[in-house]
Amino acid sequence: MRILIANIISFIAQMFLLYATSRKTKHDMLFFMNVFSVIVCISTSILGGYTGVILNIIGIIRNLCVMKEINNRTLNWFLILLALVLGFLFNQSGIVGILLLFAAFQENVIILNPNNSIIVLKLSSAFASFCWAAFAFYIKDYTNATFNTVNTISYLLFVFKQLKEEKQSV
């Protein structure tokens, strides 16, 4: 029964994430991403996915800092390191939890580097989405696993399309 309840909560969270993608301002988008993160923390904690809860809470803090315009590299690196340390300390998902930590770390590092191309950003996000899907499947959050699998495919299709267009333009 708890798996069903957690997946229903996760579905509600995913609707807020989809809604966030339609927002026209960064502030509104981050606000609804935070609503998603709070709700998904509830479903993830019901399923015992504490590594995911930690990463989502730190993501909420990062988003709030961006919304309040107190965002800088030092703060970002502090939050990344905090996520790694707390994630390792509270990891109850074994290698899947460690993979999730690595995915979050690499995605944040890629995002922090302003010189990365959109293809590198999309590949990084595809890897992170794949890891989130694996983590969600491991903790039996099938709703989250499904949405992240679709995200992974979407990112990869974009990359393949972009590479094909670049090759044709040469």
- Domain extent listing, the chain: 2-168
Contact 136, 100 (CB under 8 A): no
- Cα-Cα-Cα-Cα dihedral sign, residues 88, 96, 92, 139: positive
Q: Is 124 exposed, middle or buried (0-12, 13-18, 19+ CB in 10 A)?
A: buried
pLDDT tens for the chain, 170 residues: list them: 999 999 999 999 999 988 888 888 888 888 999 999 999 999 999 999 999 999 999 999 988 988 888 878 898 889 999 999 999 998 988 999 999 999 989 988 887 777 878 888 889 889 999 999 999 999 999 999 999 999 999 999 999 998 898 888 87
